[in-house]
């Protein structure tokens, strides 16, 4: 359940994530309709937005913070499939396919999240070709990225997977307030993201730090030699 603290409800067209989302394809009257009918709430770190297997009733849009999408393995371990940044949508696959959620969404950093009812998104999908085309492309890219990620987990050594993950996460975390893309992630979540255990993730990060490729400060990871980290990835391609 979202935290009902008082806060300024984001205005769609004034939202700093607006131009990074598919809503920038909306016409003025479409944006106004969404703005009038959406609900917004603060979610605290660790809160679940939706569970795998639950029904979808609309679309979530991340205004601020970070959210992880994960599945639970048979042994009870999390497998993080994606980390979502401001401007990204949550739950669009289930919405378009009219199926239950296939992943669980949990807040990694305190977040403001907007919810748009299903009927509005369905209408927009039918009436705005650029929006619907963008949604299909986004869904296709998500599927392609997931397949590639699972392939790498199966065949690429952990060192290569972590190097690649850090380069991807740098772009996810990069904002105007964080131009260096410093990654704020627990070692448990990093391990879950690349399909390994916490102890191995810590060991590989220590090696990368000693090689001058990254620096660390508590949960924060900063890439200081992107070219070197890229070479680590390419060793295993």
Q: Which tens digits make up the pLDDT trace of 123-150? A: 998 999 998 888 888 888 888 888 887 7
pLDDT number for residue 155: 79
Tokens for 45? 């770190």
pLDDT number for residue 135: 86
Name which of 184, 160, 166 is nearest 224 in CA terms: 166
Q: At a CB cut-off of 8 Å and minimum separation 6, what does 54 contact?
A: 100, 101
Token look-up 């260096």 returns 180
Q: Mean of the per-residue pLDDT values for the chain?
A: 89
DSSP secondary structure letters along 41-57: EEE-TT-EEE-TTPPP-
DSSP secondary structure letters along 193-215: HHTS-HHHHHHHHHHHHHTTSEE
Name which of 78, 235, 72 is nearest 158 in CA terms: 235
The span from the CA of 232 to the CA of 237, in Å, is 9
CATH fold match for the domains 12-153 and 156-234: no
pLDDT number for residue 2: 55
The secondary element (H helix, E strand) that includes residue 223 is strand 220-223
pLDDT number for residue 59: 94
pLDDT, tens digit (0-9, with 9 covering 90-100), for 53-74: 999 999 999 999 999 999 988 8
| pTM attached to this predicted model | 0.87
**CATH 1.10.10.10 for domain 156-234:** yes
State which residues of the chain have pLDDT below 70: 1-7, 153-154, 236-237
Catalogue the E-assigned strands of 11-169.
39-43, 48-50, 58-72, 78-84, 89-90, 104-117
**CATH 1.10.1740.110 for domain 12-153:** no
pLDDT number for residue 234: 83
Tokens for 214? 């990254």
Tokens for 217? 């400060």
Spell out the domain ranges in the chain.
12-153, 156-234
């Amino acid at each position: 359940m979202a935290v009902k603290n008082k806060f300024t409800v984001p205005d769609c067209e004034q939202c700093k994530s607006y131009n990074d989302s598919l809503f920038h394809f909306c016409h003025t009257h479409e944006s106004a309709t969404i703005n009038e009918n959406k609900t917004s709430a603060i979610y605290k770190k660790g809160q679940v937005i939706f569970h795998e297997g639950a029904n979808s009733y609309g679309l979530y849009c991340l205004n601020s913070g970070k959210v992880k999408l994960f599945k639970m393995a048979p042994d009870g371990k999390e497998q993080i499939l994606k980390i979502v940044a401001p401007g990204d949508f949550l739950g669009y696959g289930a919405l378009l396919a009219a199926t239950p959620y296939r992943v669980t969404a949990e807040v990694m950093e305190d977040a403001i999240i907007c919810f748009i009812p299903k009927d509005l998104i369905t209408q927009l999908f039918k009436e705005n070709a650029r929006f619907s085309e963008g949604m299909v492309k986004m869904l296709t890219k998500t599927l392609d990225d997931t397949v590639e990620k699972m392939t790498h987990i199966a065949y690429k050594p952990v060192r290569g997977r972590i190097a690649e993950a850090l380069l991807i996460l740098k772009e996810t975390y990069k904002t105007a307030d964080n131009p260096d893309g410093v990654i704020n992630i627990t070692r448990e979540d990093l391990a879950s993201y690349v399909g390994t255990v916490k102890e191995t993730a810590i060991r590989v990060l220590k090696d990368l730090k000693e090689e001058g490729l990254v620096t660390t400060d508590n949960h924060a990871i900063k890439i200081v030699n992107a070219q070197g980290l890229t070479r680590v990835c390419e060793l295993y391609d």
